[in-house]
Structure 1
């Protein structure tokens, strides 16, 4: 009888200890990597292709500051710029296979090969101005586009800014579409950009962004198209004599994390990262707008001819059929929604 009582007491004690999670091994089994409860320190590698003064890096540096502040250092952001971890296409592939934690890339470039609807941002003149852009990106349309990106094994966090794109070249001043005839223009690797340049009589030539400066310098291409902050930060003005402010499209920089990286974060850390992305969006937009006058001055000081008032209506008319090449990727209902958001 005494032996039975002693045995029962030992068993009860062991069961109580197990129920309280008394062993280290069992403590890690509950929620360690679930994205819900763990507060382990995490380092996230964020890769981009821009220079240290590029729009991508302006955002990345602010994002790093905010994340580390909001998480009390439990999440560290490690920035890899200048295409050190590969081109935008390679960065997207690494996000998909989980070997890279985060990236920010032009939504209408290589990213659109993975999420085809993002080609919508390559359609000429669908946005009137910044207010129109922001009403789309920050509203229901923008959130729906992000949700479509999440169907591809990644976490879409938001939009940073690349900006309104303008034409540059080393041959002639561009005031009308006719001035584009025969020019070799570097384009992003997607069919909408090829159709865009062909509609203007130019020859579209895909070149990786990290190789673009040398391609311009060596005459591989006559020109390219990018926002003013990109032209400035990548010093394209050193190898281009003409800038025409066509504002033909607006490119957002979509910011994404791999699903593997996102799931390593606790719910609290995920909230902090999302808040940091959103706050960075507002900060970067203001920073870039404040820099434009300074950039124009830099271009003039370097002898660049700036055409501030090209015939945008003529460019709009010449490229009006470009959207037709995207009929399968971009539904007409989406274009109607964007139009209605003006």
Structure 2
């Protein structure tokens, strides 16, 4: 059994130095951008509980909340380098800097409905993407969280294709995200997540897209109170570990982590998919948001499919995409 000891630079919250092995304990370091009430954090807590339950040795967890260690793009770098963050939950598009194929699992309009989404995540359909991510980024997927339905959130109502035209909106950094919303007529821009609130407030952008839990948790409704039910994405949010750390762990702990990741992922998916509509309604009842139907979703699907096909072909993943669509 191992203990990981790293020097801490408090000002930047970045840990430097190599892993040292001593003593009889394991301490794993985690990160969440959110508080204890968010489904990401609840899922990571369940992951910790399950690992401790399944592992015969002694293990401790140091999970930092509320963005103390930065945002998801920072976590990706830390995981890749094997510093500061050992485990977290990430949007696939934020890992595109290392693995250009991984955002395929997070493409808008990939899943028909929750049943389709559950079938895909319960299979090995994404195994080639997992292997590429491990090789290219040094990041191991141990389970799948997700289930939030992403909609448009904007300063002014967006209710149809005409109003969507040239809508200045933030998207995640993976190119497929910008290409998708460009195809439906919007004006997408990749902006850091922690800059979205101010960017809307100052008029740099007019909105963004996200799931209900994050809109509520980070109070985005204060600047983007109009929710348009485009329902363009059912989220896939891998529970991940740094391969540099994972590979140094004893085999029985690795086995416990993979089993715990699968179970914690199922827990998190049920939690988030079940709560999504309730959170939207809770914000609406509180007068924080106004919910709008969106006319033209079928047209959006028609416009987006060629973009998906071209992206998959570019990655050599046409068969994977067809397998997912066919489930």
Partner SS, residue 125 of structure 1: coil
**Aligned residue-pair number:** 303
1:162 positional shift: 5.5
1:155 aligned partner:
140
1:263 positional shift: 2.8
Q: Distance in 1 between matches of 2:243 and 2:321?
A: 30
1:334 aligned partner:
320
Partner SS, residue 133 of structure 1: helix
Q: Distance in 2 between matches of 1:122 and 1:69?
A: 31
1:224 positional shift: 0.6
Is 2:274 aligned against 1:290? yes
User: Does the 8 Å CA contact 2:155/2:225 hold for their aligned counterparts?
Assistant: yes
1:1-342 superposed matches below 5 A: 40-71=24-55, 74-99=58-83, 100-107=85-92, 109-152=93-136, 153-161=138-146, 163-172=148-157, 174-300=158-284, 301-308=286-293, 310-323=295-308, 324-325=310-311, 327-329=313-315, 331-341=317-327
Unaligned runs of 5+ in 2: 3-21
Unaligned runs of 5+ in 1: 1-27, 29-37
1:176 positional shift: 2.1
Q: Give the number of the structure whose alpha-carbon radius of gyration is greater.
A: 1
* Greater CA drift, 251-260 or 181-190: 251-260
User: Does the 8 Å CA contact 1:162/1:252 hold for their aligned counterparts?
Assistant: yes
2:7 aligned partner:
none
Larger strand proportion, structure 1 or 2?
Answer: 2
1:184 positional shift: 1.1
Partner SS, residue 141 of structure 1: coil
Partner SS, residue 115 of structure 2: helix
Larger helix proportion, structure 1 or 2?
Answer: 1
1:236 positional shift: 1.6
Per the alignment, do residues 189 and 165 of structure 1 end up closer, same or farther by CA in structure 2, a change over 3 Å counting? same
User: Does the 8 Å CA contact 2:143/2:264 hold for their aligned counterparts?
Assistant: no
1:72 positional shift: 5.8
1:337 positional shift: 0.6
Per the alignment, do residues 218 and 53 of structure 1 end up closer, same or farther by CA in structure 2, a change over 3 Å counting? farther
* Greater CA drift, 251-260 or 70-79: 70-79
Per the alignment, do residues 221 and 55 of structure 1 end up closer, same or farther by CA in structure 2, a change over 3 Å counting? farther
Per the alignment, do residues 310 and 78 of structure 1 end up closer, same or farther by CA in structure 2, a change over 3 Å counting? farther
Q: Distance in 2 between matches of 1:320 and 1:144?
A: 21
Partner SS, residue 224 of structure 2: coil
Using the size of structure 1 for normalisation, the TM-score is: 0.81
Q: Distance in 2 between matches of 1:156 and 1:284?
A: 15
Q: Distance in 2 between matches of 1:210 and 1:194?
A: 18
1:226 positional shift: 0.9
